[in-house]
Amino acid sequence: MTLYLTQKDVESILSIKDAVDAVESGFKEMGLGQIEMPARVYLHFEKHNGVLIAMPAYIIGPDTAGVKVVTVHPDNPAKYGIPSVIATIILNDTKNGKPLAIMDGTYVTALRTGGAGACGAKYLSRKDSRSVAIIGLGVQGRSQLMGLCEVRDIEKAKAYDIVPEARKKYAEEMSHKLGIDVQPADSLESAAKGADIVVTCTPSPKPYLKGEWIDRGTHISAVGADTAAKRELESSLIKKVDKLVVDFMPQALVVGEFAGPISEGVIKKDNIYAELGEIVAGKKKGREGDNEITLFKATGLAIQDVITASKVYNLAKQRGIGKEI
């Protein structure tokens, strides 16, 4: 029998804390070399402005494996009233290949990405970080702030989106949800300036975050650009960063955030300090001083999906949630 879990099932099981813990353990296994994870496979639906991505992974320590199939169609909310990101995850029994579970992966994707940003901040931001700027106020704008509140004592957030109405709605919703002071920002500059942590989670095709807005000691989590066509950080910012950290080198080098600056000669591949897994596993140091500017570039990894989905599966079995098919 295979356990089937709907999005409502997954939402009833998975907390942001569960996601942060699962993703951190996945990064540790990666840093220890205990994973098998090929680069993502893309199908581009150019006439529909969409993409299908297949993301398989095997994590040797907890002996869990599976694949996520995710589609990204930015026009979905306006055209069809459905999410931009839609995902399904299949977990397999490594002993015999049998499907253990088929579950909605949309909520897993949202929370595990927030968990990845939080994990980057845990190891790279100042421990006394209290303020954050969130740029891009969609699903990820929410899960990133939720994740940060798990690893840092965040007291204040400034929220910016190109849609003015989204700023006030987000501020009201997240202030109530997290019990912190969330204020709408009128501009990118006013959001970023003075923040201890800056999170970018937009689908922008053009870089917009400037180096001159970023103070010494700031940590940046760049989450939005996950293809070569997207880019959020200007070269002036990339050049200013003291410690560049990525989730997975083969993916990070081809997305716009680094592909652009490398082609411009602003940085070289050797300027990338580490993969986050190396830091989590203790092979390299994270933040080494309060004056450092650090950057974590997240592209999204299959190990994050599989290890988080495994957590959901085990909790569902314990609680009797889902349908056996």
pLDDT of residue 284: 97
Query: Is residue 74 helix, strand or coil?
Result: coil
What one-letter code names the amino acid at 86? I
Average pLDDT over residues 126-145: 96
pLDDT in tens, 87-108: 999 999 999 999 999 999 999 9
Query: Is residue 190 helix, strand or coil?
Result: helix
Residue 192 and residue 217 in contact, taking contact as beta carbons nearer than 8 Å: no
pLDDT of residue 124: 98
The per-residue DSSP string of 211-240 comes to: GGGPPTT-EEEE-S--STT---B-HHHHHH
Tokens for 100? 């253990």
If asked whether residues 175 and 91 sit together in one domain, one would say: no
The region of weakest confidence among 1-5, 35-39, 86-90 is 35-39
Average pLDDT over residues 182-207: 95
pLDDT of residue 229: 78
Q: Is 115 inside a domain boundary?
A: no
Residue 256 and residue 228 in contact, taking contact as beta carbons nearer than 8 Å: yes
Q: Is 35 inside a domain boundary?
A: yes
pLDDT over threshold 90, residue 254: no
pLDDT of residue 224: 86
pLDDT over threshold 90, residue 306: yes
Q: Is 117 inside a domain boundary?
A: no
pLDDT over threshold 90, residue 64: yes
pLDDT of residue 258: 83
Average pLDDT over residues 232-254: 91
Average pLDDT over residues 180-197: 96
> H/E element holding 246?
strand 243-246
pLDDT in tens, 107-120: 999 999 999 999 99
pLDDT of residue 7: 97
Confirm whether 95 is a catalytic residue. no
If asked whether residues 16 and 164 sit together in one domain, one would say: no
- The helix-helix angle for 106-124 and 302-319 (nearest 10°) equals 120
Can you tell me the distance from the alpha carbon of 32 to that of 302, in angstroms, rounded to the nearest whole number?
A: 16
If asked whether residues 206 and 296 sit together in one domain, one would say: yes
Residue 38: closest CA among 61, 64, 67, 71: 67
If asked whether residues 164 and 268 sit together in one domain, one would say: yes
Residue 203 and residue 49 in contact, taking contact as beta carbons nearer than 8 Å: no
If asked whether residues 147 and 295 sit together in one domain, one would say: yes
Tokens for 31? 């840093």
CATH of the domain at 10: 3.30.1780.10
Tokens for 15? 């907390």
> Which residues have C-beta within 8 Å of that of residue 80, sequence separation ≥ 6?
none
pLDDT of residue 324: 97
Q: Is 259 inside a domain boundary?
A: yes
What one-letter code names the amino acid at 80? Y
Place of tokens 């919703």: 173
CA atoms within 13 A on the CB side of 305: 31
Place of tokens 């205990």: 34
Residue 72: closest CA among 102, 106, 21: 106
Place of tokens 């804390």: 17
Candidate list 8, 17, 28, 68, residue with the active-site label: 68
If asked whether residues 151 and 254 sit together in one domain, one would say: yes
Q: 84: pLDDT confidence band, cut at 50, 70 and 90?
A: confident
Query: Is residue 245 helix, strand or coil?
Result: strand
Q: Is 89 inside a domain boundary?
A: yes
In eight-state DSSP terms, residue 129 is -
pLDDT over threshold 80, residue 226: no
Q: Is 120 inside a domain boundary?
A: no
How far, rounded to the nearest angstrom, does the alpha carbon of residue 179 sit from its chain's CA centroid? 23
Share above pLDDT 90 across residues of the chain, in percent, rounded to a whole number: 85
Residue numbers of the domain that contains 40: 3-109+303-324
Can you tell me the distance from the alpha carbon of 75 to that of 319, in angstroms, rounded to the nearest whole number?
A: 37
pLDDT of residue 1: 93
In eight-state DSSP terms, residue 289 is -
Do the strands 197-200 and 219-222 form a parallel or antiparallel pair, or are they unpaired?
parallel
Average pLDDT over residues 292-301: 95
Tokens for 64? 């869990």
Burial class (CB in 10 A: 0-12, 13-18, 19+), 288: exposed
If asked whether residues 307 and 295 sit together in one domain, one would say: no
Residue 2 and residue 96 in contact, taking contact as beta carbons nearer than 8 Å: no
Average pLDDT over residues 188-200: 96
